[in-house]
Amino acid sequence: MVSTEEDCSSVYPISLVIAGKPCLVVGGGRVASRKVAGLVRSGAKVTVVARRVDPSILSHSEVKVLVRNYQPGEASDYWLVFAATGVKEVDRQVAADAHEAKVWVNCADDPQGCSFMLPAVHCSGSVSVAVSTAGSSPALARWVRDRIAEGLDPRIGEIGRLLQLARQRLKSEGIPTETVDWNSMIESMLTDDDVRSRGNEENRVD
């Protein structure tokens, strides 16, 4: 459970690698659909439990859909759980089960029921910017994200790819990466007309 203090120090920012990991979304509406889409993009193995399921969820052929009520205790079988039914009693039951099983859970519109928050994210290639308000205002998080995105060079994703290649080359040659002036290299790339973005689409995730 996160602290009730409205302070960014109450949450710990982290990027999870969940490719291939079993994740549960309880709920089949629009909110649940956004959670499913984000999990699918991250390569998670997604199961949805809901009595009614939005067509947007069904469009993901790789998602396992169970058209039924949530069964008490089943949250314990997953790495991440999302409670997004819109029915407080059900969402609280899902969250309680997850907390008891020490499974990370996000409870839609209930920050106090969450053990993790979803930030507003701007992506360009391997570069992502995540903004969190510790659950106090998703709208503000999206607004801040959009202002940051407006200020980013559209080539930032391609620059990230080139820097990754540079780090790999240095490591293969036994050169410590901390000896490189990365800031100067990034500034140089940003002013180099030959650096072009190669199909790095910008994706915004709620």
Residues 188 and 100 in one domain: no
Confidence of residue 202 (pLDDT cuts 50, 70, 90): very low
Number of domains in the chain: 2
Residues 113 and 25 in one domain: yes
Q: Which amino acid is at 174?
A: G
Residues 158-178, buried b or exposed e (16+ Cβ, 10 A)? bbbebbeeeeeeeeeeeeeee
pLDDT digits (tens, 9 = 90+) for 6-50: 555 678 888 899 999 999 999 999 999 999 999 999 999 999 999
Let me know if residue 2 belongs to a domain: no
Which residue range forms the structural domain that includes residue 47? 8-118
pLDDT at 196: 46
**At which residue do the structure tokens 């909110």 appear?**
31
Residues 145 and 93 in one domain: no
Residues 85 and 152 in one domain: no
**At which residue do the structure tokens 């040659």 appear?**
173
Confidence of residue 195 (pLDDT cuts 50, 70, 90): low
Q: Which amino acid is at 81?
A: V
Residues 98 and 160 in one domain: no
pLDDT at 49: 98
Residues 15 and 114 in one domain: yes
Residues 23-42, buried b or exposed e (16+ Cβ, 10 A)? bbbbbbbebbbbbbbbbbeb
